[in-house]
Structure 1
């Protein structure tokens, strides 16, 4: 009876809570709808004060993530965006700042902004307000107008980064004829020039129409900017961005530039990355106000001190922006695509070169052999890899917390995370593009693998972008070790200290991973690790290989994404391709287990037809190769 009464009481209590919760939710929704309606009324008001107040309120409203969908669904962008063309400079400024902040929330927000026709008023702003504008030193709205222009350029950058349609709009407008005039440092200053260069860096990439326009409109200005004197953060930012735009106007092909310009660009990238970002953040952390024992921020600095602090914060932000841009440039230089010649006419000549290079004893064309020799030489001479790798290290945790606690320096923490992630992605490209010696030899590559593993398995990072890039580095490092030319039997010595508990940490990490890209990297990585152990089979290594095999089989049955399943099965095919693994294959009953998974792969492939091209290739290859491998291994195992 007691249990029954308790159950009834709990139901009544829950019902009351549910009713209260529904009432609170209804009040919240009503309040939100009222706020949106008030903002709409103000944005459509007749006076400057009403419109300005509405934009300010909207700017605060979108700071709460839960409000973003309401703003989009109620079409507030359609009302706020035309205010970029308002006669009042204060309204234009408030509109540009709010829209820029909204566009920076996440990429799919930019798609929503495009759906609400943000490009029409934004394009009109550049045509009507930027075609001949020059900051007036005596104008009361000078600083406001400069900020509006910078915000509009940054808004355009965010839209073009996430939307091909936005890039198309830019190409059809006069924007690319207007922006080059803002590269005059003496007339417009560093903030404007930097904003324009950042935008052009994005818009010009892989865009033939934009390449030609920028080449014809500002090639000489860009070349002037890369030869600027000085090494303070603002100048490094300008020079780095200018170098990036120059490379992108040449289709990303450094080799189409004169050799002296290649050296100048590589020198700029090296100098930008030689600045110790951790030391700069350490110094800044000693200047910002701290929280006292009660958790409250100390008194804000006096006006003069505050201005000095703002300049210091701005300098660190410029330095981090410059370093991220440099890393993105290097990552593109070292990408696989960079090894392909842009002109198809020269393909036969390249093939002859490839054949010549292949006379290296095993007929294999290494990725580093495809990197243009002058580019490879510059990367090695300027120690670019070491400089990029240094950017994967964050400042001390206490320094990061101090910068995060002070509102004025919170942006630096976000930029540090972004820099670390981009640096790891760049390292991933560089590992496959540089010779072993430039990476510290096999022991150096192994250390990279270990250090990246600490980010993935030891620190339990919640930053998924960081985890994906770190796992990509781990995979690339093991790939590099696997492909090296020296005696592979000695590779096992690198993993002498790798305990079975370390393997279990990796396997547990994969089991708990919810992101397919990260899961795929980790599965391939443990597969390569097992493949390296095949070179020195004994009781211990055989046990590890079998453990990894059983794990990949187990994961394959649980895997929902067909392309990750294909990656896992392809990993097993690679692992057991060598004949010396026949007895291990028999031990784990590999043939029978793969025979069960083959139809599962086909079935999932039929269900998941809409895949990116590279994933389709992976899945189709696995479907083709798996039956052949099963038949081959079945015959081999039957003879044991």
Structure 2
């Protein structure tokens, strides 16, 4: 199932020996080099206070991204990681919190953590401190120990999500034998259970050995968690994650589950998505303190601060639950049949074999995406209005609400989570457009409205959020694909696109020209190609001008394209567009044959140069290389008869 990287929560704040201003003054006074040397000395000291102080300074430096490369280069991780095994619970806690925070920075940070062997002490922590631990209400370190466990589970989760090597380490350890015991809600509480479920949800993916083990050890606990009745945000998150873990224990093959379990899972996802996230954020924004004219914010105190913290946590948990729900639904609707065959990285002699294999598979009758989804799942998704609920998650709260959440330090992470939820919901919509019957998506007109709304996100908003742009362009492409499939390219019986003119295209084409991300470029090129294809059966002066403009633009972009798979997408789009005989006159008008003749050797050369591609891209490139010469010959013959 498709993996989607999640936003990780920030560390829990702990009291420190000195206040934050003292730390900042010390760091500003000393050079960064001196500060790091001091940290290294403190981490290797015998005194608990020295080690704790060093870890706190390490955590403080991590808050500034520009410090991270130097901290990694100087080996601070190598000194901090073994403290996961320290005899003092406060030191273990501080080490786990700092390392967890570092692992949230990005893939590069996780790679550095793996290179500096953080998995060895992390594995030892689980083996020695987590195998039999049970929280003791009378223990003075109970809260520290619980928090340390959560930090370590999150650290493991982040590493496994980023590194295959971490998954390998996990399989060689006893960690998967240990984690299931922490799903006992009555003993460990929701925070611990939630952390373990989030970790399991990731590590089970494409991991049959882990699936089998967890299925045996966790089945009873998962059934109990699934059956929880309370609908507060923390419970919704536990129930939603339990549903995801159950699906992952059967390798994503939900058909292997009893129908009543399938219905229960979809019902839980629907319940989670029924909470109005925009209303919750609107209400929260009324409690968030605003800055004065100088931008200074006076944080609340006492009971008011406690109430705000409770409200922030509640909304954050609800957003986490909704993001998990849309990810699970996206995976259920992914219809990834894994039919791509490995393309051999070979010499010219092997290229013909690849081409024949691709051509052969292309001629076979393939199962439609709508028919791949289990009927019980399709019925449940439709009856519970899941598509409408997911689409509602693509809508952000009002702009002023988002600004309030962004500017207050305590709600800044929530602002980021809302954008992540929007992007994940769009990716889910993309999958659902392919998997559900069009009549249950509002018909052709309903899908057209989805295309228009996704277009507003792509072409009328800032290009800074590349994740949003990629998911929104995928929705635009999928929506037009759906219309094309339903109408078989004929939109003469609808009013769609009747008002589309060259001026409307300019904004789209400019967006593609300026796009620096190959995945987004590919989506947009294919999308405007499908748009042109939908106009082919309604040819008149206006639509002919639009199609000609689109064709010339795609061919021009293809000649400039650096990525061979995007070039292949462009070629495939043009071939699809002009495969019908009715396009012969248009082909002559845009000099299609001459331009494709120039493009063919460019495509072939790039295909030879760029062989290391994912499987689906290899198939796309190989098919384009094979089909283009035959298409040129076919169209040349047709145009010559005009």
Q: Is the TM value for this pair above 0.5?
A: yes
What is the correspondence of 1:40-189 to structure 2 with a 5 Å cutoff? 40-189=40-189
Q: Write the distance in 1 (CA, Å) between the matches of 2:366 and 2:301.
A: 65
Q: Write the distance in 1 (CA, Å) between the matches of 2:512 and 2:493.
A: 24
Following superposition, the deviation at residue 271 of structure 1 comes to 0.2
Alignment-derived partner of residue 589 in structure 1:
591
Following superposition, the deviation at residue 303 of structure 1 comes to 1.8
Aligned-CA RMSD value: 1.7
> Out of 538, 549, 553, which is 2:540 matched to?
538
Check the 8 A contact 1:492/1:533 in 2, yes or no: no
What is the correspondence of 1:21-40 to structure 2 with a 5 Å cutoff? 31-40=31-40
Following superposition, the deviation at residue 305 of structure 1 comes to 1.8
The Cα offsets for residues 284-329 of structure 1, whole Å up to 9 and x where unpaired, read as: 111111112221103x222222112111111111111111111111
> Out of 614, 623, 626, which is 1:624 matched to?
626
Q: Write the distance in 1 (CA, Å) between the matches of 2:564 and 2:437.
A: 34
Q: Write the distance in 2 (CA, Å) between the matches of 1:601 and 1:110.
A: 36
Q: Write the distance in 2 (CA, Å) between the matches of 1:127 and 1:337.
A: 37
Q: Write the distance in 1 (CA, Å) between the matches of 2:414 and 2:596.
A: 49
Check the 8 A contact 1:339/1:372 in 2, yes or no: no
Q: Write the distance in 2 (CA, Å) between the matches of 1:497 and 1:543.
A: 13
Q: With CA pairs under 8 Å and 6+ residues apart, which has the higher RCO, 1 or 2?
A: 2
SS of aligned partner of 1:196: helix
> Out of 386, 398, 401, which is 1:399 matched to?
401
Check the 8 A contact 2:489/2:536 in 1, yes or no: no
> Out of 383, 386, 390, which is 2:385 matched to?
383
Q: Write the distance in 1 (CA, Å) between the matches of 2:377 and 2:476.
A: 25
The Cα offsets for residues 211-242 of structure 1, whole Å up to 9 and x where unpaired, read as: 11111111011001101011110111110011
1:323 aligns with 2:325: no
SS of aligned partner of 1:332: helix
What is the correspondence of 1:123-522 to structure 2 with a 5 Å cutoff? 123-298=123-298, 300-337=299-336, 365-485=367-487, 488-490=490-492, 493-522=495-524
Greater mean deviation of Cα atoms: 444-453 or 159-168: 159-168
Check the 8 A contact 1:62/1:102 in 2, yes or no: yes
**CA separation of 1:425 and 1:47: change in aligned 2, threshold 3 A:** same
Give the unaligned 5+ runs of structure 1: 1-26, 341-362
Alignment-derived partner of residue 548 in structure 1:
550
Alignment-derived partner of residue 6 in structure 1:
none
Alignment-derived partner of residue 635 in structure 1:
637
Check the 8 A contact 2:204/2:248 in 1, yes or no: yes
Q: Write the distance in 2 (CA, Å) between the matches of 1:530 and 1:485.
A: 14
Q: Write the distance in 2 (CA, Å) between the matches of 1:33 and 1:70.
A: 9
Q: Write the distance in 2 (CA, Å) between the matches of 1:28 and 1:292.
A: 28
Alignment-derived partner of residue 360 in structure 1:
none
Alignment-derived partner of residue 574 in structure 1:
576
Check the 8 A contact 1:281/1:399 in 2, yes or no: yes
Check the 8 A contact 2:394/2:426 in 1, yes or no: yes
Q: Write the distance in 1 (CA, Å) between the matches of 2:280 and 2:323.
A: 15
Q: Write the distance in 1 (CA, Å) between the matches of 2:463 and 2:399.
A: 13
**CA separation of 1:485 and 1:557: change in aligned 2, threshold 3 A:** closer
Following superposition, the deviation at residue 29 of structure 1 comes to 14
The Cα offsets for residues 513-541 of structure 1, whole Å up to 9 and x where unpaired, read as: 00011001001100000011101000000
Q: Write the distance in 2 (CA, Å) between the matches of 1:171 and 1:305.
A: 47
Alignment-derived partner of residue 18 in structure 1:
none
SS of aligned partner of 1:577: coil
Check the 8 A contact 2:285/2:404 in 1, yes or no: yes
Greater mean deviation of Cα atoms: 71-80 or 119-128: 71-80
Q: Write the distance in 2 (CA, Å) between the matches of 1:381 and 1:488.
A: 30
SS of aligned partner of 2:46: coil
Check the 8 A contact 2:489/2:537 in 1, yes or no: no
1:526 aligns with 2:528: yes
Following superposition, the deviation at residue 180 of structure 1 comes to 0.7
**CA separation of 1:536 and 1:563: change in aligned 2, threshold 3 A:** same
Check the 8 A contact 1:570/1:622 in 2, yes or no: yes
Check the 8 A contact 2:254/2:262 in 1, yes or no: yes
**CA separation of 1:150 and 1:542: change in aligned 2, threshold 3 A:** same
Check the 8 A contact 1:240/1:322 in 2, yes or no: yes
Greater mean deviation of Cα atoms: 135-144 or 622-631: 135-144
After TM superposition, the score normalised by the length of structure 1 is 0.90
Q: Write the distance in 2 (CA, Å) between the matches of 1:338 and 1:487.
A: 26
SS of aligned partner of 1:311: helix
Following superposition, the deviation at residue 487 of structure 1 comes to 7.8
After TM superposition, the score normalised by the length of structure 2 is 0.90
Check the 8 A contact 1:523/1:568 in 2, yes or no: yes
Check the 8 A contact 1:252/1:338 in 2, yes or no: no
Aligned residues: 591
Give the unaligned 5+ runs of structure 2: 1-26, 340-364
Check the 8 A contact 1:110/1:163 in 2, yes or no: yes
**CA separation of 1:513 and 1:28: change in aligned 2, threshold 3 A:** farther
Q: Write the distance in 2 (CA, Å) between the matches of 1:635 and 1:472.
A: 35
Q: Write the distance in 2 (CA, Å) between the matches of 1:488 and 1:369.
A: 23
Check the 8 A contact 1:338/1:371 in 2, yes or no: no
The Cα offsets for residues 556-611 of structure 1, whole Å up to 9 and x where unpaired, read as: 11111111111111111011000000000000100000000111111112221221
Following superposition, the deviation at residue 489 of structure 1 comes to 3.6
The Cα offsets for residues 365-422 of structure 1, whole Å up to 9 and x where unpaired, read as: 4311221111110111111111111100111111111111211111111111111111
Q: Write the distance in 2 (CA, Å) between the matches of 1:95 and 1:137.
A: 24
